[in-house]
A and B are shown apart, each in its own frame.
Chain A
Amino acid sequence: MTNSTTNFKPVFASTFESMTDDEGYLINQEGLSCLEICDKAIVILRASKDPEKTKKAAKENWGIDLPHVLGISKGDDGVQCFWISPDEYWLVHSQFQREALWQKQVDLPVGVSLVDNTGAYGALCFKGTNVHKLLSRWMGYDLSGKLAVGKVVSTTLGQAPVVAYRETEGELMLLVRHSFSHYVVGLLTDSAKRL
């Protein structure tokens, strides 16, 4: 039976899409740009009470050596592994890799679990000489002193929980829960006006 109801074309809306310009920028001014990165997928990996199990599972399934505290390590095909807590890691990858990554779920030992949390977050990439000036209006974390490349921290931006990390020199990444997206945009664009 063919009718219009079988020709669905799902529309994916990124977190910040209603607030960015045509090129995906939230802010684009001298010394400061903030661009939404739309293809980040996040899967939470929770560790077994037996650390060896988790280590093995991470290595065998995704080629990941689990990172140290607040660290980022890399696995197969550019999958990144973020340390979030003693028993929580995030596998951060691109949307294209989701299917393949998720399939490994069936191989996991009891006590190691995966939870897809991609829909919860939006990602922003900050560049420019005024990035710290901007973020220091709202973040108490010592970004310039303590957030080196390869480090990830869960902290706050104003009253919103965020995850801040650096993977490359010259860039700062923020993961923001989508329900706080309008609030975060409000804070940042307001402060950016005066920079």
Chain B
Amino acid sequence: MFLIHCPYCNEEREQEEFSPAGEAFIARPEAPEDISDEAWADYVFYRTNHKGDHWEQWVHSNGCRKYFMVERSTITHEILKVAAFGADISE
């Protein structure tokens, strides 16, 4: 059970208030009808399984109900960064 800092509520909350929401930065293809079955399957089914620091989505389901992004180590579980959805994560 860990703590997550919600970037909207600007507070640390217990993990039980949140739900994981998959890998971050999966963008829906702009024109699905123009891409191959393989490319569509890649978007629908394939996700990276990275050992190390990994960007994922979480939602504050029992709080503000907003989606945000978390950079977390899949080895140590340490949360390195938290960012509002759409924020610039490069810094």
Enumerate chain A interface residues (CB-CB to B < 8 A): 69-70, 84-86, 88, 140-141, 146, 153-156, 161
B11 touching A85, Cβ below 8 Å = no
Contact (A140, B14) CB under 8 Å given A85-B65, A155-B63, A156-B62: yes
Contact (A154, B8) CB under 8 Å given A140-B14, A140-B16, A141-B13: no
Q: Which residues of A contact B17 (CB under 8 A)?
A: 155-156
Number of A-B contacts (CB under 8 A): 36
B89 at interface, CB cutoff 8 A? no
Does more than half of chain B's interface fall in helix, strand or loop, or is it mixed? loop
Task: Count contacts on B: residues with CB < 8 A to the other chain.
Answer: 13
Does more than half of chain A's interface fall in helix, strand or loop, or is it mixed? strand
B21 at interface, CB cutoff 8 A? no
Contact (A154, B64) CB under 8 Å given A85-B8, A86-B8: yes
Enumerate chain B interface residues (CB-CB to A < 8 A): 8-11, 13-14, 16-17, 62-66
A155 touching B8, Cβ below 8 Å = no
Q: Which residues of A contact B8 (CB under 8 A)?
A: 69, 85-86
Least Cβ–Cβ distance between B11 and chain A, in angstroms = 7
Of all A-B residue pairs in the complex, the 10 with the closest CB atoms, nearest first, are A85-B64, A140-B14, A154-B63, A156-B62, A161-B62, A69-B10, A86-B8, A85-B66, A70-B9, A155-B17
Q: Which residues of B contact A85 (CB under 8 A)?
A: 8, 64-66
Contact (A86, B64) CB under 8 Å given A69-B9, A140-B16, A155-B13: yes
Q: Which residues of B contact A69 (CB under 8 A)?
A: 8-10
